[in-house]
Amino acid sequence: MSERRTTVIGALLTAIGPISMAIYTPAMPELVRAFDTTEAAIKMSLSLYFAGFALAQLVAGPVSDAFGRKTASLSFLIIYLAGSLISVVAPTVEWILVGRLIQGIGASVGITVSRAIVRDQFTGAKAAGIMNTMGIILAIGPAAGPTIGGLALAAFGWTSIFFLMVGFGAILVFLSIVFLKETTVPDRSRLQPARLLQAYAEIVVLPRFLCTSLILGGSVGALYAQAAVLPFILIDEVGLTPTEYGMGMLMQSGFFLIGSVSLRLISKWLPGAKAPAVGLVFSGGGGIIMALSIYLLPPSFLSIMGPVAICTFGTAFVTPYIITAGLAPFPHIAGSASALMGFIQMGAGFVGGVAAASIGLPLHAFGTVIPTMHILAVLGFFGFLATSRRA
């Protein structure tokens, strides 16, 4: 496929996961009231979504290697649609939990296939440039997601949130049928247990790959983990309405967009690992400011979202180069490598979200768990530099 088609389709496939979270978060406090349940139960719906998303990638990647990127995309997108429809008609909170788990399983194909189709066709600076452009497009969906979700919730109720997901899933099915071309040579023997274990063993023993995954798990995973507590902080503690919360989340995705555009403009002055180094200064520094602000300042929109914006701006500098560097050694099993990278990234978000939910007090969870994840990303980068020198 052309660079443009790869970029657009890859960005839309990647966006299905973040959009399904971004649209959903404004409705979380409302779902507590609608089903007369607890905050913990609704937070569990987000955790189950992450669990399905993370674990299913370990299947989606090898399936895309064995049956092709297009077949895998269509199969998992249909699963995503099924989960969305279950959530629309859910009579109890237990059905919401089931629907969100199935949604996560279906959405797992997006991040796996999008990275694999780039690795199938492009390498080096060109691949990193495509990843950066994908990041710019990707930022638009999650940026608008909470706003759209908040407006839909206010106008039509919580079921409209899941109808929006059904619509997005249907659009991606159409695009995958019409515009997604096969970019690999399918090999069904790759699903044989022995070959599957051999592929994952080859990937996981490479320290450089593990370091890049730790960087992504800490920085990007933190963005997912904080979704478990931000709605309750901004709506219940700060006092925003769901619609105001949706508008306020533009600060997070908006700064990711600003970071992606800034990187594109100055990338020629930041060759090699300099771009993620700059990004981790922002995300690590933002994490420290986040921890201090929680314990030194009364909660307000700026005291919460200001550090989030700094971290998100930095993360936009990190992802293009780190993803490209992590997948570079595995052209023959790009789907499996992309799946394992995504599993570690989303698994970190899941573990962080569970840890934040288990603390009980959203403010303390936010000021402890999220900064820790950003610091781990910085440590992972030092490991990446060391392993790269040895390589």
Residue 94 has pLDDT above 80, yes or no: yes
Residue 140: pLDDT band (50, 70, 90) is low
Single out the residue of 31, 15, 26, 17 nearest to residue 96, CA to CA: 31
CA distances in angstroms from 11 to 17, 87, 168, 259, listed in the order given: 11, 25, 13, 16
User: Which tens digit of pLDDT belongs to each residue from 230-245?
Assistant: 888 888 888 888 778 8
Q: Give the pTM.
A: 0.75
Amino acid, res. 4? R
Tell me how many degrees the CA angle 273-279-285 measures, rounded to the nearest 5.
135
- CATH, range 3-179+195-390: 1.20.1250.20
* Confidence (pLDDT) at 86: 93
- Pairwise pLDDT comparison (59 vs 373), residue with the higher score: 373
CB neighbourhood size of 59 (10 A): 19
Q: What share of the chain is helix, strand, coil (3-state, %, to 5)?
A: 85, 0, 15
Residue 310 has pLDDT above 90, yes or no: yes
**Local structure of 23: helix, strand or coil:** coil
User: Which tens digit of pLDDT belongs to each residue from 373-391?
Assistant: 999 999 999 999 998 877 6
* Confidence (pLDDT) at 112: 84
User: Which tens digit of pLDDT belongs to each residue from 271-286?
Assistant: 778 899 999 999 999 9
Close Cβ partners of 37 (under 8 Å, ≥ 6 residues apart): 31, 93
**Local structure of 265: helix, strand or coil:** helix
